[in-house]
Amino acid sequence: MPVSSGQIKTLLDQKRHAFSSFSRAKFELLHAYNHAWIEFAALALDRQLAQLPVTEPAGARPLETASSGQAADKGIVPFFFAESGPVGDRWTNREQSAQWVQTVLEDITTFAVDGSQISPGKDISIPIALLQIGWFENPHSATRSYKKDVRVDLMTPSDLGPNPAQPVERRVNIRRFQMEVARLVEYINDCPEPERTLVFFDGALVVTFAEAFDQESQTAYVQSMLSLLEASDRRRVPLVGYVDTSYAHDLTTMLHHACGLEATEGIHDAQLLAYLKTGANRTMGWGDRTAVFQCDRGGILDQYGPYGDQIAFCYLKTTRDGYPARLEMPRWMWESGQMTQYLNWVRGEVIIGGGYPYSIETADQTAVLQGQDKHLFLRVLQDWAEREEINLRLSRKMVSKQRRR
């Protein structure tokens, strides 16, 4: 029977108090964290650091303050007039922003990789997976054209055999991750102009998600990420881990330690910043950013060895209405003194992509495997198995789909 809308409304009315209490408690806690952020941001850097624990992870440790200079307000560095370069006023039309992008990104090469997969399922009698990564290189040049390409790999029964600690889907995800990172490392090692290159990683450089997995899986993710960090560090190629929707709690953990607030996982960094009121009672505007922090999360970072304290991050407002995005970067980028330039490259990519880095978006479109690709893969697999006299069986459902197509 279909669900009754009347019953749902009745239940919601009956439980309204629970929702109201939750919202009120969360609002009060969010207000306390907002107030703590403003007070903490007003302190000098040495005083900020002095309020954080020395022997345990603090969540985040400031690398700069945004309480004075650059027209900063309450811990937020505004884009216009502070980091926008030779811009006399806020943009009033798309042409002005396009001109700024052209100036900032001219002859700057951006590169991104993404991946897709066809995982083994119950429809095929043989464990097999198809993986594809795609990449996009954009030189932003009048004399050089962009490049798009893909790389494909297969995982066989020997790769996907029984392993209680590592489910099959996880092994496929790990291989895809390794392929994506390996291509980024390859590109970093080969790029001719490191100082005029920006490499995007689609996700966080701190692989906290792997903490839920077995040690072998954790090691696989960490070792791949360390190879990427090492390559960027060695060749001084700027690298940005871009997280469009972040639920990290590094800043709120820092405020918990520094200001004695109640610890909470109900408020994440991006949420805290989205409701923060700066001068003239305004929230973060497009292009505004936080100060730069060192990620001091502990956990999986303890396995990063010499790179455990070498991940910096900030939050950057990339849309008018949404939460700010999280950018993670090797610490050397901050220490280079070129952070404003690197962030403007990211801002330029976001403008081109309409709120999301164009290079990452295009790499995703290049890499994606769609339904027609799966059917092509199965047809080729069937023909090959028949020729090689390998016993391959497809489910009746899959055979029916193949016939209809």
Judgement on whether residues 339 and 377 belong to the same structural domain of the protein: no
User: What is d(CA 173, CA 207) in angstroms, rounded to the nearest whole number?
Assistant: 13
**pTM of the shown model:** 0.90
Quote the CA–CA distance of 361 and 41 in Å, as a whole number.
34
Residues 258 and 400 in one domain: no
Residue 363 contacts residue 113 (beta carbons within 8 Å)? yes
Q: How many CB atoms lie within 10 A of CB 292?
A: 21
Same structural domain, 304 and 385? no
Is residue 379 located within the same domain as residue 233? no
CA distances from 181 to 155, 170, 178, 188 (A): 17, 16, 5, 10
Contacts of 89 (CB under 8 A, 6+ apart): 80
Q: What is the pLDDT of residue 19?
A: 55
Residues ≥6 apart with Cβ < 8 Å to 173? 117
Same domain for 242 and 385, yes or no, is no
The answer to the question of residue 59 being in a domain is: yes
Domain co-membership, 157 together with 252: yes
Q: Has residue 16 been placed in a domain?
A: no
Q: Which residues contact 96 (CB under 8 A, 6 or more apart)?
A: none
Range of the domain at 396: 373-404
pLDDT by residue, tens only, the chain of 405 residues: 667 787 777 777 666 666 555 556 677 888 899 999 999 999 999 999 999 999 999 999 999 987 545 556 788 998 886 787 766 567 878 888 889 999 999 999 999 999 999 987 776 778 889 999 999 999 999 899 999 999 999 998 888 877 766 888 999 999 999 999 999 999 999 999 999 999 999 999 999 999 999 999 999 999 999 999 999 999 999 999 999 999 999 999 999 999 999 888 889 999 999 988 765 556 788 999 999 999 999 999 999 999 999 999 999 999 988 899 999 999 999 999 999 999 999 999 999 999 999 999 999 999 999 989 888 888 888 888 888 887 877 754 554 455 545
Task: Judge if 127 and 116 occupy the same domain.
Answer: yes
Q: Would you say 53 and 64 are in contact if contact means Cβ atoms under 8 Å apart?
A: no
The verdict on 312 and 389 lying in the same domain is no
In a domain, 7, yes or no: no
How much is the pLDDT for 191? 96
In total, how many domains does the chain have?
A: 2
> Between the CA atoms of 354, 359, 360 and 362, what dihedral angle is there, to the nearest 10 degrees?
90
Q: How far is CA 187 from the centre of its chain?
A: 19
Same domain, 381 and 291: no
With the C-alpha atoms ordered 19, 24, 25, 27, is the resulting torsion angle positive or negative?
positive
Number of CB atoms found within 10 A of residue 335's CB: 12
* Residue 9 within any structural domain of the chain: no
391 and 324 together in one domain: no
Cα separations (Å) of 227 from 180, 201, 232, 273? 12, 13, 9, 32
Place of tokens 């990449």: 135
